[in-house]
Amino acid sequence: MSKFDEVRAVASDILGVSAVSLNVTSSPETIENWDSVQHLNLVLALEEKFNLQLSPEEIEQMKTLGDTAKLIESKLHTSSR
């Protein structure tokens, strides 16, 4: 399973939408349920799943699901070095 697929599975669960309806360009502007509360829930769920902490700057970078997956991958890569 790719990192995007893992992030998509978490987002699907948090946002209450099917995983197939989410793609790399999905964002708060394209997914109705994705409001500020769900954005925070997504941040917290990703932190728990991947056992990492997201800084304010990183949270702000999570513009789309694709951005989010790249961010998570990069953080995991950095921490595994």
Partner 1 sequence: MAIVIQPYRQQHESAVQDFNRRLQGSSGDPNFVFSQSAVPRWLPPSADKPVWNEFYVAIDGSSNTGPTVRGVYALKQEVMFVRGKGLHRIGCYHHPLSEGIVDRSFASVGALLARDALAQQPLLYALGMGGMERSIAKMLKALGFSLTPIPFYFRVVHPAKFLREMRALRTEPWRASLMNIAAATGAGWLAIKSAQAAASLRSRSASPRVDFTDEEGVEFSDWADELWAQAKETVSFATVRDANTLRLLYPPNFSSDIASTRGLRVSRNGSAIGWAIIGLRRKDPKFGEMRVGSIVDCWALPENAATVIQAATQALEKDGVDLIVSNQSHHAWCGALEKAGFLKGPSTFIFAASKKLTELLQPQQENPASFHITRADGDGLPVNF
Which lies closer to partner 1 via its Cβ, residue 6 or residue 58?
58
CA angle 52, 75, 67 (to 5 degrees): 105
Binding site for partner 1 (CB under 8 A): 27-29, 34-41, 43-44, 56-57, 59-63
Which lies closer to partner 1 via its Cβ, residue 1 or residue 37?
37
Phi-psi region of 59 (alpha: psi -120 to 50; beta: other; left: phi over 0): alpha
Minimum CB separation of residue 41 from partner 1 in Å reads 5
**What tokens does 65 get?**
């699901």
> Which 8-state DSSP code applies to residue 63?
S
Minimum CB separation of residue 18 from partner 1 in Å reads 20
